[in-house]
Structure 1
Amino acid sequence: MSADAIVVGAGIVGAACAAELAARGMSVEVIEARGIGGGATAAGMGHIVVMNDSPAEFALARHSRELWLALAPHLREIDAFSRCGTLWIAEDDDELAAARAMHAAFASGGVRAHQLDAAALRDAEPALSHAMQGGLLIDDDAIVYAPAAAQFLLTRSPGAARIRVSTQCAVAAVDASESAACVTLANGERRTAAHVVVANGLAASALIDGVPLEAKKGHLLITDRYPGTLHHQVLELGYIKSAHHARGTSVAFNAQPRPTGQMLIGSSRQFGTLDPAVDMNVLGAMLRRASHYLPGIGALDAIRAWTGFRAATPDGLPVIGPARPADDRLWLATGHEGLGVTTSLGTAKLLAAQMFGEPMPFPLPDAAAFSAQRFAGAHVDD
């Protein structure tokens, strides 16, 4: 065998899985069609955020954020981590009520958060529109430069000496027998291991039957350097509905201060397209939405805009675990949608625990919440 485990994909989820397995003493080969930290990992914001759209999502995101905070000192050495907090913006009374409900849920789950009234919001973020009514600050959320984090996990984390990475190497098929798992490359070469972990985002559905993944296209724009314009990651409270429930094309306000002094502006979601070109109509709608919250944004110079594709499952939760019932050779770690960076480290812990037959590394309200078998007979809506 070429390794104890082969991980398909060197994005942040694949890198985290490889690092976790290597730290447990396994020899790991990572096979990546492009380069380390490419694809959705390179296209996203790198926001480490606790979300509570469902109990399972909350448990995974909360545990993962703790792992990121523990890793932070190492990532700060390579300028890849900043704890800026997340500020959810409430525009009206209904959204203030939503902020109070979120605060209560976070408090019951042990997540530090506190409410801001309109005056406190203006003090925290003077550039925001003074029409905003308040917000909810999540203190320990952070941002990470995910491509650099993926590189760190594969080359400098404990056990990294047991990881071998092959880039520019496309995988055509995976299969398994009772004794081994096998990866077939596009050039026909076959590599075997005790386990194969498929962690290559949208492409996973081409390798494993029955994984209902849908592409959600998103746009981002980055500005020139304007240090001090923004201090926290700021999002409208309507972002949660837009991110997980809207169909068709939608935009929502989401802005991030980069350590460079630049600002990332998002976000958008489009279905039914794999065209990577920037859609100027969507980008314009996204920026108009942002200017509603940040009135001065029109005066900032933009450097570039780009798109990426989130791999989404029908219920918005990732697939983490055996690819098939009673199969301990083929594994899945995909479908994280917009939370791949946040939940990558927790995903790796969860997958390794299943592989080694251990108890779950953190409490889950439903042990089958991330199982691939929950989609048996399901399909992605047209």
Structure 2
Amino acid sequence: MNHHFDAIVAGAGIVGAACAASLARTGMHVALVDRGGVGSETTSAGMGHIVVLDDSEAQFALTRYSQRLWQELAPTLAAEAEYEALGTVWVAANDEELAEAERKSAYYNERGVPAKMLSSRELAEYEPNLRAGLAGGLFMPQDAIVNPPAVAMHLVTLALAHGAELLLGCKINSLRRGEAVLEKGGVRLTAPLLINATCGWATDFDPGLPIRKRKGHLVLTEKYPDLVRHQVAELGYLKSTHAAESDSVVFNVQPRPNGQILIGASRQYDNEDTGVDKRIVDALLKRAAQYMPALATKKMATTRVGFRAATPDKLPLIGPVPDDETLWLATGHEGLGITTSLGTAALIAAALTGLKLEIPIEPYLPARFDN
């Protein structure tokens, strides 16, 4: 095994895999290191929703840029990646949420992102199994769904094709000053560039990072084809992103290509128990049935638990650590890690190689929290 590389990427989830692929394509000799398998932790518990959001201008810029990169990648993906541009139906339950949908529609269309307002009648045509009496909604036709672990493996394969090395089952004890020290045998890997892409576990290497783990549950049903046609979520989903101090559940469902339905989403902070919380799952299913009553009678197949990395300003940490010129961060994406994985990797590769940055990297730099 080589011990010296041009870059060492810690974490073989979808963000780390994307970073490894992007850097390897520039000609760097990359080591991608993970304590488990490819896409086996947070990535495996992701909903796989490729979505544009506008909580801030910086969030919009990164999600839209990433969505375009997904559209470019899609034709190269194998069938198991399950990429489908189904679109998102954002559901407005009342007039207040409908006004928010109208605001969002204007915002997106002004920026060249297709968005269509749905009346109450049109909403029922798009998703016949939603409950009656909803105010309307917003349809985002370019949003997509994907199987995150399969895409992570695709990106790793691309990295390997460009000479990268993959080290699985290798826990890193220390990542700093151009060196990654492995737990097994104290092996030391060196590189002038280190990338911490370990999601919620990024603080294992630096407890001072402005990151909190956010626990989330997803429930997968048995196969019920045609019950759900698009990614469907309540507009209250966006409001809940601000409820940082309390547990929350929202209606968010996705049809999987095999006929199963993925039901989300929940948020719990400061809970690092890896087990399923029955109280949260029950609340999640109750919320889903409030919007789509037919779900109340469907059988559940399995529940997934994952931990996202949340930052105080809801933006990821992308770029160098101020006190260590060798160490870059690619973490803090919270629930948008799948969407923004490609944009994150592209920004890092461009910044390191002097290529043109398609969007400014400044809003995501870790140094913003040092002011």
TM-score range, shorter chain: over 0.9
For structure 1, the residue ranges without an aligned partner over 5 or more in a row are: 378-382
Alpha-carbon distance change, 342 to 97 in structure 1, aligned in 2, over 3 angstroms = same
For each residue in 1:209-244, what CA deviation from the matched residue of structure 2 results, as whole angstroms up to 9, or x when unmatched? 531110111111000111111110000001011124
What is the rounded CA distance, in whole Å, between the counterparts of 2:206 and 2:147 in structure 1? 30
Partner of 1:165: 166
Alpha-carbon distance change, 361 to 159 in structure 1, aligned in 2, over 3 angstroms = farther
CA apart distance, 1:319: 0.2
Look up the equivalent residue of 1:16 and give its one-letter code.
A
CA apart distance, 1:174: 1.5
Partner of 1:46: 48
CA apart distance, 1:166: 0.6
What is the rounded CA distance, in whole Å, between the counterparts of 1:173 and 1:70 in structure 2? 36
Is 1:339 paired with 2:316?
Answer: no
What is the rounded CA distance, in whole Å, between the counterparts of 1:95 and 1:76 in structure 2? 38
1:67-78 to structure 2, matched below 5 A, reads: 67-78=69-80
Count matched residues.
Answer: 368
CA apart distance, 1:76: 4.4
Is 1:375 paired with 2:369?
Answer: yes
CA apart distance, 1:159: 6.5
Q: Structure 2 residue aligned with 1:146, among 148, 162, 166?
A: 148
What is the rounded CA distance, in whole Å, between the counterparts of 2:120 and 2:211 in structure 1? 41
1:171-190 to structure 2, matched below 5 A, reads: 171-176=172-177, 181-187=178-184, 188-190=186-188
Aligned residue for 2:28, secondary structure, equals coil
CA apart distance, 1:79: 4.2
Look up the equivalent residue of 1:308 and give its one-letter code.
G
Q: Structure 1 residue aligned with 2:13, among 6, 11, 14?
A: 11
Is 1:330 paired with 2:327?
Answer: yes
Compute the RMSD of aligned alpha carbons: 1.4
Q: Residue 51 of structure 2 contacts residue 144 of structure 2 at CA under 8 Å; is this kept in 1?
A: yes
Partner of 2:229: 231
For each residue in 1:114-134, what CA deviation from the matched residue of structure 2 results, as whole angstroms up to 9, or x when unmatched? 011011111111011112111
Q: Structure 1 residue aligned with 2:238, among 232, 237, 240?
A: 240
Is 1:253 paired with 2:247?
Answer: no
Q: Residue 8 of structure 1 contacts residue 32 of structure 1 at CA under 8 Å; is this kept in 2?
A: yes
Is 1:133 paired with 2:135?
Answer: yes
Q: Residue 80 of structure 2 contacts residue 147 of structure 2 at CA under 8 Å; is this kept in 1?
A: no
1:43-122 to structure 2, matched below 5 A, reads: 43-122=45-124
What is the rounded CA distance, in whole Å, between the counterparts of 2:207 and 2:273 in structure 1? 24
Q: Residue 10 of structure 1 contacts residue 32 of structure 1 at CA under 8 Å; is this kept in 2?
A: yes
Partner of 2:354: 357
CA apart distance, 1:208: 3.1
Look up the equivalent residue of 1:273 and give its one-letter code.
N
Partner of 2:316: 318
Q: Residue 25 of structure 1 contacts residue 159 of structure 1 at CA under 8 Å; is this kept in 2?
A: no
Q: Residue 173 of structure 1 contacts residue 207 of structure 1 at CA under 8 Å; is this kept in 2?
A: yes
Aligned residue for 1:115, secondary structure, equals strand
Please say which of residues 107-116 and 233-242 is displaced more in the overlay: 107-116
Aligned residue for 1:103, secondary structure, equals helix
CA apart distance, 1:85: 0.5
Aligned residue for 2:213, secondary structure, equals strand
Q: Residue 86 of structure 2 contacts residue 230 of structure 2 at CA under 8 Å; is this kept in 1?
A: yes
CA apart distance, 1:278: 1.2
What is the rounded CA distance, in whole Å, between the counterparts of 1:218 and 1:79 in structure 2? 22
What is the rounded CA distance, in whole Å, between the counterparts of 2:257 and 2:154 in structure 1? 18
Partner of 1:205: 203
Q: Residue 252 of structure 1 contacts residue 267 of structure 1 at CA under 8 Å; is this kept in 2?
A: yes
Q: Residue 23 of structure 1 contacts residue 159 of structure 1 at CA under 8 Å; is this kept in 2?
A: no
What is the rounded CA distance, in whole Å, between the counterparts of 1:152 and 1:39 in structure 2? 16
